Chain A
Amino acid sequence: MNKSILQIELRKILPFYITALVVIISYVLFWPKPLMAGDGIIATAGFLQGFIITWIVFRDAPAVECFLFSRGITRQRLFWNRWWLVAVLMILMLIIAAAVISAGLRCLIFVNGPWHPMVKWYELNILWPLGLASVAGVSVRLFLLLRDRFLKPDKMLSTIRRVWKYILLVAAVGSAVLLGRVIPHMEIAIDYLLIASFYVAGLLILSTATARSCFLNMEIHT
């Protein structure tokens, strides 16, 4: 990873990331009820986290965009530098959440609770909604990057022009099916989570591929 790009991006993202980290880890630590795979609050937080981090990392002020896109780094490298930074931040959030649960910190806080002093390993299932929703948030934001650029008078790859609406359609229909089928069963059937994982992974691959093509071809009007 290019150190200068890392420095610029971290400076942009750290205030929000630290806030998000505090909020999500506080929830994981202090939520008095058992943490479950079907936790809607953590899924929402994860989605917003993924969406906003991607938005901040991939967005530049127009005049700074002009500076960045004329540096001695290819767009390809700039895109992947940013993509990996988002990925690392997501993974770091999962690792910290897992560490908090595994270290038994919840047991210390709820010392008078009904499950003290056991670490409840099933609570690690909360990583599913957090991770999957984060990836979904990243994917949606990457799609929007594509859509935003389509609204500008850019010359885009004709293949993207042809397929992007179908990709969005698949994502939208798939999300609806997923929500309808998976969430009611999340706490009892791990199979659904695996299906959701495949689905979100596919979504991420598609959104990354299309956003990358968009990034490589977008025009800078500053």
Chain B
Amino acid sequence: MNRTIIQTEQLTKRFGEKIAVDGLDLRVEAGSILGFLGANGAGKTTTIRMLMGHLHPTGGTVEVLGSDPWQQNQSQRQKTAYVSENMDIPGYLTPAAAIKLNRRFYPDWDQALAEKLLEEFELRSVGAYRSLSKGQKRKTCILLALCQNAELLIMDEPASGLDVTARRTFIRQVLEIACNEGTAVFLSSHLLSDLERTVDRVTLLDEGRLILNGHLEDFKVGIRKIHFDVPVSLEQIAEQFKVIRYKKASEVETVVTVLDYDEQRFDAFAAEHSGTENARCYPMNLEDMFVELTRKSEAKVQLP
């Protein structure tokens, strides 16, 4: 088993009456890229801020690289790289000057990579940070994080505002970093197509609660939308599968989304219920899964 990089137990954060994060149990191992998903206000950024030691948890525990982020010493802090959507470097610094300034914080700084990314992101001859476009600012912050040679890379909406080329460079670089078995990447983004190409594990939050956590490939195999051309009751389908969403589309049509689709079990189900053998079964990409799992509707009947 790989080393645990992030571990939270019953992590909770309240802002007054509002519960932003509700009893989150999370474990991220070295060598993995975790996609941290959720709708706006689901508690992703609050969780990340607690991982970074920017917010105090109201309850539960959080450990990053084996210690409480509020108690980490300098060398432990140097092993975490962080990019947030709202982060800015001092406005008078050019990207090259920011590299020079930032590298002094990190003994393992990768200057060769910094030079390479300066070229690829076309940041070498741009002006001061305050005069850059939103995309160039994001590129600068990403560059500073990627070159730290950190053991943990935490990124909160890093790619918002990036053009396609820069996003590809970013994804390639994240994948290269994750090839290092000692490193974990914790990536929160609404760009699900990018995440799908990058992450191997997915965690989904909804209203502060964890509703899905596991390997992306397992979910791709297991989560299916099934169209029945005959009426099927929720009880019937729930005997065989974990039902995420159940909807009677019409008198004769039923649409069900299940979490744990399996061909053999479906055959068994079809054998028991006549007329269901012609059901159409659709695989789902990450975006479909996200919508299906977080869509607010009474038809949502069960979450794992």
In chain A between 180 and 222, which residues have their CB closer than 8 angstroms to a CB of chain B? 217, 219-222
In whole angstroms, what is the CA distance A221 to B104 when docked?
A: 26
| Contacts A64-B89, A73-B77, A153-B16 given; does A219 touch B101 at CB 8 Å | no
Q: How far apart are the CA atoms of A7 and B104 in the complex, in Å?
A: 11
Q: Are B54 and A70 in contact (CB under 8 A)?
A: yes
Q: Name the contact of B73 in the complex, choosing from A61, A74, A220, A221 (C-beta under 8 A).
A: A74
**Which residues of chain A have C-beta atoms less than 8 A from B49's C-beta?**
220-221
Query: Does B104 lie within 8 Å of A222, measured CB to CB?
Result: no
Is A31's beta carbon under 8 Å from chain B?
no
Structural contact, B77 and A72, CB atoms closer than 8 A: yes
Please name all residues of chain B whose beta carbon is closer than 8 Å to the beta carbon of A62 when the two chains form the complex: 86
A153 touches B15 (CB 8 A): yes
User: Closest chain B residue to A154 by CB distance?
Assistant: B56
Contacts of B77 in A (CB 8 A): 71-74
Distance in angstroms from A22 CB to nearest chain B CB is 22
Q: Which of A4, A154, A155 has most B Cβ within 10 Å?
A: A4
Which of A4, A11, A64, A220 meets B102, CB within 8 Å?
A4
Q: Does A111 contact B (CB under 8 A)?
A: no
Closest chain A residue, CB of each to CB of B92: A11
B contact face: mostly helix, strand, loop, or mixed = loop
A8 to B88, CA, bound (A): 13
- Judged by a CB distance under 8 angstroms, whether A121 is at the interface is no
Which of A4, A63, A72, A217 is the one whose CB lies under 8 Å from B86? A63
Give the contact-size bracket for chain A.
Answer: 20 to 34
State in angstroms the CA–CA spacing of A220 and B82 once bound together. 14
> Quick check: is B106 within 8 A (CB to CB) of the other chain?
yes
Interface assignment of A2: CB less than 8 Å from any CB of chain B: yes
- Give A143-179 interface residues, CB cut-off 8 Å to B: 153-155
Q: Is B65 an interface residue (CB 8 A)?
A: no
- CB-CB under 8 A from B80, the residues of chain A are 70
Q: B74 near A: Cβ within 8 Å?
A: yes
Contact of A72 among B54, B74, B101 (CB under 8 A): B74
Q: Are A4 and B101 in contact (CB under 8 A)?
A: yes
Q: Mark A99-122, 1 if CB is under 8 A from B, else 0.
A: 000000000000000000000000
Interface string of B46-83 (1 = CB under 8 A from A): 00010010111000000000000010111001101010
Tell me whether A73 and B74 are in contact in the complex, defined as CB-CB below 8 angstroms, given that A4-B101, A66-B84, A155-B56 are known contacts: yes
Asked if B101 and A66 make an inter-chain contact with CB atoms under 8 angstroms apart, the answer reads: no
In the bound complex, residues from chain A placing their C-beta under 8 Å from that of B304 are none
Contact between B16 and A72, CB atoms less than 8 A apart: no
Residues of B in contact (CB 8 Å), total 29
| Structural contact, B104 and A4, CB atoms closer than 8 A | yes
Q: Is the CB of A70 within 8 A of B82?
A: yes
CB-based contact B89/A74 at 8 Å: no
Task: Check A16 for interface membership: any CB of B closer than 8 A.
Answer: no
User: Is there a chain B Cβ closer than 8 Å to A33's Cβ?
Assistant: no
Question: Which residues of B sit under 8 angstroms from A64, Cβ to Cβ?
Answer: 88-90
Question: Which residue, of A11, A63, A70, has the highest number of chain B Cβ atoms within 10 A?
Answer: A70
Residues of A within 8 A of B102 (CB): 4, 71
Are B52 and A74 within 8 A (Cβ)?
no
Chain B residue at minimal CB-CB distance from A66: B87
The yes or no answer to B282 lying at the interface (CB within 8 A) is: no
CA A215 to CA B176, docked complex, whole Å: 37
Whether, in the assembled complex, A80 has its beta carbon less than 8 Å from a beta carbon of chain B, the answer is no
A59 on the B face (CB < 8 A): no
A67 sits at the interface (CB 8 A):
yes
Apart from A64-B88, A70-B54, A222-B86: 19 A-B pairs, beta carbons within 8 A = A2-B105, A4-B102, A4-B105, A62-B86, A63-B88, A64-B90, A66-B54, A66-B86, A66-B87, A66-B88, A67-B89, A70-B82, A70-B87, A72-B74, A72-B78, A77-B74, A154-B56, A220-B55, A222-B87
Question: What are 26 A-B contacts with C-beta separation under 8 Å?
Answer: A3-B104, A4-B101, A4-B104, A4-B105, A8-B101, A11-B92, A63-B86, A66-B54, A66-B86, A70-B54, A70-B80, A70-B84, A70-B87, A71-B77, A71-B102, A72-B74, A72-B78, A72-B106, A74-B72, A153-B16, A154-B56, A155-B56, A217-B70, A220-B55, A221-B54, A222-B87
Identify the B interface with A (CB < 8 A): 15-16, 49, 52, 54-56, 70, 72-74, 77-78, 80, 82, 84, 86-90, 92, 101-102, 104-106, 141, 148
